[in-house]
Structure 1
Amino acid sequence: MGKKQKTSGDAARKEFIFQKKNYLFMFLGLGCMALGFILMSGGGSDDPQVFSTDIYSFRRIKLAPALVLIGLALEVYAILLNPHKKD
């Protein structure tokens, strides 16, 4: 008795939670994280008996992890962003 019947108008008004703006920030975050992981790779030595100090470069120690964290922050922002909110 207390159930509402769905009409065709209700089905037409349903929207996705995420909009174009959310997906844009998600892909920016994924790209930033991927770039960070690519920059973090490498630096090894061809000879396992020789230690290479290339792993301690600015790119691998500071820049790459910062890019990964920025990408994660963009992902959180993209999830929490409300595209329907009027500024």
Structure 2
Amino acid sequence: MAQKFKPTATIKTTASAPAAAATKAPVASQPVQFIFDKSNYRFLIISVAIVAFGFVLMSGTTDIYSTTKIVIAPVVVLAGFALGFYAILKKPSAN
């Protein structure tokens, strides 16, 4: 199938590329700043351990209706998730 119309003007694409590359100045090396601080990671690891401990409590004994399985273990798991949310939302300290 042949082209039915011709472009009216030529498009220059190579003239702007070298000019943009020539004006770029080298960036001075700045220290990398992470989103999370060391304390954030510490809280996150502790929260994962608390959640895992809650699931171990939940799988505990053979008694299905024990207080540990029904009340204590879910509260421990929710506390672990709450600590995880705190670890994610906590702002790093400005030094």
TM bracket, shorter-chain basis: 0.7 to 0.9
Partner of 1:8: 28
Partner of 1:48: none
Give the aligned CA root-mean-square deviation in angstroms: 2.0
Structure with a larger share of its residues in helix: 1
Partner of 1:57: 66
- Residues 15 and 60 of structure 1, relative CA distance in 2, 3 Å threshold: same
Within a 5 Å distance, the mapping from 1:64-79 to structure 2 comes to 64-79=73-88
Unaligned ranges ≥5, structure 2: 1-19
TM-score after normalising by structure 2: 0.67
Query: Residue 6 of structure 1: CA displacement?
Result: 5.3
Percent of counterpart pairs with the same letter? 43
Distance 1:84 1:18 in 2: 10
Q: Aligned residue pairs: how many?
A: 74
Partner of 2:57: 39
Letter in 1 for 2:27: T
Query: Residue 43 of structure 1: CA displacement?
Result: 3.9
Does 2:37 match 1:19? Answer: yes
TM-score after normalising by structure 1: 0.72
| Higher RCO (C-alpha 8 Å, min separation 6) | 1
